[in-house]
Structure 1
Amino acid sequence: MALRFSDLCIDANDVKALATWWSEVLGWPAEDADDGDVVLRAPAGAPDWLFLPVPEGKTIKNRIHMDLTPDDQQAEVERVIGLGARRVDIGQGEQTWVVLADPEGNEFCILAAQG
């Protein structure tokens, strides 16, 4: 038996708004699904991101999160904060990565640039 990682599912109160926000962050196209979900189409070889509507809000730290590798960490952190992300402290201390949260509070990291 073989499995393929096809979708990363993300719960959201406002799937349209959150998917649109991540679409702008990542530069991936968003598509509405017939069932009210929204899909971000990832580049070949990466899983699509599927935004699913849920009634409850986020209440605790994520158990899974995305790490994003930029060409220029400082520029990307500033750009993403300008789009509506916020810095969060999850007890990480001083690190080479920056922990941010999207508009619904989901944590993600922007790593140091790799050269």
Structure 2
Amino acid sequence: MTLEWEQVTVKAADPVALGQWWTEALGWVVVDQDDDVFEIRPEPERLPGLLFVRNDEENNALNRLHCDFRPDDQAAEVARLLAHGAKRADIGQGEQPWVVMHDPEGNEFCVLGQRH
């Protein structure tokens, strides 16, 4: 049996707004959207993608899954994402070579340091 990684599903109070935020943050393209679903990919036929689906339940739990992104220039990307509406997050990580952030709905993600 072979499995192909299709996408990561993200529950969102407003999947269109959050999906548009991530589209701009990543420079990806929209491949599907309606009021309850918003799907983006690096390119129209390239996987994996991110699928934002409507979820009206409030999330009070710590995220058990988050995305890590490795930029060419960590400081520049962190500054760009902060200007775009992301927030720095302190989840008890202490001093690390990565930066933990929250998207506009509070989902955690990390901007990693340079690859060694």
The TM-score normalised by the length of structure 2 is 0.91
Distance in 2 separating the partners of 1:36 and 1:111: 31
> Which residue is equivalent to 1:24?
24
Structure 1 stretches of 4+ with a deviation exceeding 4 A read: none
| SS of the residue 2:71 aligns to | coil
C-alpha distance in 1, partners of 2:34/2:108?
28
Matches within 5 A, 1:2-17: 2-17=2-17
Instruction: State the shift of 1:34 in Å.
Output: 5.4
Distance 1:45 1:19 in 2: 17
Does structure 2 conserve the Cα–Cα contact (< 8 Å) formed by 1:68 and 1:110? yes
- Rounded to whole Å, the distance in 2 between the matches of 1:60 and 1:32 is 28
> Which residue number in structure 1 is paired with residue 62 of structure 2?
61
Kindly provide the amino acid, as one letter, of the partner of residue 88 in structure 2.
R
Q: 1:72 to 1:15 in 2, by over 3 A?
A: same
* Residue identity opposite 2:20 in structure 1: T
Unaligned regions of 5+ residues in structure 1, if any?
none
Given that 1:10 and 1:50 are in contact with CA atoms closer than 8 Å, whether structure 2 keeps it comes out as yes
Asked if the contact 1:32–1:39 (Cα under 8 Å) also holds between the matched residues in 2, the reply is yes
Distance 1:34 1:87, change over 3 A: closer
> What residue ranges of structure 2 are gaps of 5+ in the alignment?
none
1:17 aligned partner, one-letter code: A
- CA shift, 1:113, in A, is 2.1
Contact residue 100 and residue 109 of structure 2 kept, 8 A: yes
Q: Distance in 1 between matches of 2:89 and 2:77?
A: 16
CA RMSD of aligned residues (A): 1.7
In structure 2, relative to structure 1, the CA distance for the partners of 1:35 and 1:101 (3 Å cut) is closer
